[in-house]
Structure 1
Amino acid sequence: MRTIYICKSLFSLSLKNSSHLNKTPISLLSLLFISSSPETPIAVADYLIDRHKFSPETASKVSSVVKYLKRPEETDSILSFLQESGFSDTHLERIIKRAPQVLSANLECSIKPKFKFFQDLGFSSSDIVKIVSSEPRILTRSVDNQLGPSILTLKSVLGSNMDDVSRVLKKNGWLLRYDLAKTMIPNIELLKSCGISSSHITQCLYIFPRDFMHKTMRISENVKRVDEMGIDRKSKMFLIAIRAISSISKDNWELKLELFKSLGFLEDDILSVFRRQPQLFVLSERKILTQYFLIVLLKHI
């Protein structure tokens, strides 16, 4: 409406001086319409394939989420910045497939601040590449409300050395999608209350971080089940047993019991095996059978 009003005003002004009708009004109106016309959107699939040589598979997947780009030059800047930051073509395809929103982000206000945030914490360029590649959706998260608090929480668990935090995040960048203070910390506190040492918890966190992301009520129930199976809380097997129970559904647990019974084990024998090697119960039926002689040996120890 404002544009129409301006056009009418210019035209009215031109009528007052008809000698300039063929000069000023038309040129001004032409410039006005050109400057106010929206940029022509470009199809994402064509853009990725023709302009950046992305694979048709990636282009197709991304275009199912983001169909058009209004400012392809801005997207060019984002992709160039990522390449200059050490990301390979393979990395770029992975990022765009898992976080298509990056294509429409603002480089200066959204992308660069996240890289500066990691750099200020002491992460190297190669660390940042590995972390972002492991979870590209990090680039769509808020530094102040999500990334910062989660990294500080992780640091409080692992210690002050950022190398340890980097070690975890390079393989498990997905952790930064969560509010760790509300998910991970209550579970760690529960395990500590069971007598499990901080060092043992940290060791498991490096290898099995997903085990600390279950609902606290579920872990509490599994602690109770492991207690009922007679595993000493001071034993290193206690936390491993909780991990095993957490990864097996009740129906699958019953199937495992039936498998052991079919091998000639009584219920007390099965519990004895579980107390010694709880991780055996996480294996598939085929792998359990390949471990048959070890299981028999455990039965008689």
Structure 2
Amino acid sequence: MALHALLRRNLTSFFSENLLSPTISNGSLSLHIACFSTAIETKPSTPPSVYQFLTNKHQFPPEVASRAAPILSRSHRPENFDSVLSFFKQTGFTNSHLEKMLISRPRLLAADLEKIIKPKIQVFQDFGFPSDDIAAIISKEPRILQVRLETKLVPALSWLKDLLGSIDKVARALRKSGWLIFGDLENTTLPNVQTLMSRGMSRDQLVRLINYMPRVMLYKPVTLSRCLENMDKTEVVWSSKLYVYVVGIVCSMPGGAWERKLQAFREILEFSQDDIVRVLRQNPTVFSVSEDKMRLVKKLLLGTGKYDASSIAKYPTVLMHSIERRCKPRFEILGILESRGFIDKWLPLRVGMIFSPAPAVNLVDWFHQLPLIEHDLKPR
């Protein structure tokens, strides 16, 4: 026993002194590492208590736990945030909601439950939000639980309720963008509301804008004013039905982005100014497509040998369709119909995009079941 104790003490002293010594040689260090390589390779990168707590007790997927554990284990022990997870579950948060929160804001589990989390949840409940809406809103934007109660959360919810008219509508807007909570109500949001309404936007249109493109309300007032000036330059008389969507699309491209978008329509798609004005009046959301999508659609249409760039100007909605799921299958059907003599020429692009080419159908039967376009089909 004495010999065993002596050997253990000497070995401990040896490794402690040599591994920490600044003069240790590279060869010796390599030898020590080689001797203990198995231990180094199998040692978990984070304390196992945090990872095991998340996976074993609360059944989080390993990939979620492995991302959150290194952050949570820096200054907290698992038992400190067990009560936070339990509270969220009691409030109506599912594991899916909690996983989203752990990935985007893991430190929230270390927040003070009584001072930080519970009061914010209580505010949502006092306003009348259902538990499933609270869970959906918070899990999408967990930072809401870290804003100031009196100066941010309560005023924002009160303003949204007054404008939108019901908690259901407020919940719908916040499910889409929790950023509405973070806006500077006095210096940004309300001045933007006044600017839009001074240009003729009604209350109902403002509600639709918040649901369609909520981040417009968070722009700096000077940025919003410049976006609206860009709208004026197009010399389009906006219909009340589409005005909201035009504002949303144009304001989603501040700075010089809107001018670059118009230039892309001219250069890539060969749109004339008349084409641009007409499409803005009829289908402004088309201008949300990327330049890459423009090039892909144009290449596909020209590749058929049946359509040219002017076809896009006549039916710009084609830019919004899926190339793989909508355009290509219909073009393949049109090619088969032409090769079998059912049509002399391909249908106009607008017409060709409306039918649904069900797979494995008899083409003759399918042909006779198209009353909407039958007059355009002439079997040879």
Change over 3 Å in CA distance of 1:241–1:60 after alignment to 2: same
Alignment match, 2:203:
198
Cα drift, residue 199 of structure 1: 0.9
- 1:42–1:72 contact (8 Å) kept in structure 2: no
User: Please, what is the CA RMSD of the aligned residues?
Assistant: 2.8
- 1:149–1:179 contact (8 Å) kept in structure 2: no
- 1:57-106 Cα offsets, whole Å, 9 max, x none, are 22232245333353532311111111122211121111122222222122
Change over 3 Å in CA distance of 1:217–1:60 after alignment to 2: same
Which of 123, 136, 139 is the matching residue for 1:133? Answer: 139
Q: Does 1:175 align with 2:180?
A: yes
* Equivalent residue runs for 1:23-62 within 5 Å: 44-62=50-68
Matched position secondary structure for 1:68: coil
Q: Does 1:252 align with 2:261?
A: yes
1 CA distance for matches of 2:63 and 2:70?
11
Alignment match, 2:306:
none
Structure 2 residues without counterparts, runs of 5 or longer: 1-46, 302-308, 317-380
Alignment match, 2:227:
222
2 CA distance for matches of 1:241 and 1:56?
45
- 1:244–1:281 contact (8 Å) kept in structure 2: yes
Q: Does 1:211 align with 2:216?
A: yes
Cα drift, residue 46 of structure 1: 4.3
Alignment match, 1:123:
129
* TM-score computed with the length of structure 1 as normaliser: 0.73
Say how many residue pairs are matched: 254
2 CA distance for matches of 1:54 and 1:297?
48
* Equivalent residue runs for 1:1-20 within 5 Å: none
1 CA distance for matches of 2:226 and 2:170?
29
Alignment match, 1:271:
277
Which of 276, 281, 287 is the matching residue for 1:281? Answer: 287
Cα drift, residue 52 of structure 1: 2.8
Alignment match, 1:157:
163
Matched position secondary structure for 2:268: helix
Higher RCO (CA < 8 A, seq sep 6+):
1
Alignment match, 1:144:
150
Cα drift, residue 172 of structure 1: 2.4
- 2:216–2:224 contact (8 Å) kept in structure 1: no
Query: Counterpart of 2:235 in structure 1: which amino acid?
Result: G
Alignment match, 1:88:
94
Structure 1 residues without counterparts, runs of 5 or longer: 1-40
- 2:50–2:77 contact (8 Å) kept in structure 1: no
Change over 3 Å in CA distance of 1:237–1:168 after alignment to 2: closer
Q: Does 1:295 align with 2:313?
A: yes
- 1:12-61 Cα offsets, whole Å, 9 max, x none, are xxxxxxxxxxxxxxxxxxxxxxxxxxxxx986434323443322322232
* TM-score computed with the length of structure 2 as normaliser: 0.59
Q: Does 1:232 align with 2:227?
A: no
Cα drift, residue 216 of structure 1: 1.9
Cα drift, residue 192 of structure 1: 0.6
- 2:275–2:313 contact (8 Å) kept in structure 1: no
Query: Counterpart of 2:141 in structure 1: which amino acid?
Result: E
2 CA distance for matches of 1:106 and 1:211?
33
1 CA distance for matches of 2:176 and 2:290?
25
Matched position secondary structure for 1:65: helix
Cα drift, residue 184 of structure 1: 2.4
Q: Does 1:72 align with 2:78?
A: yes
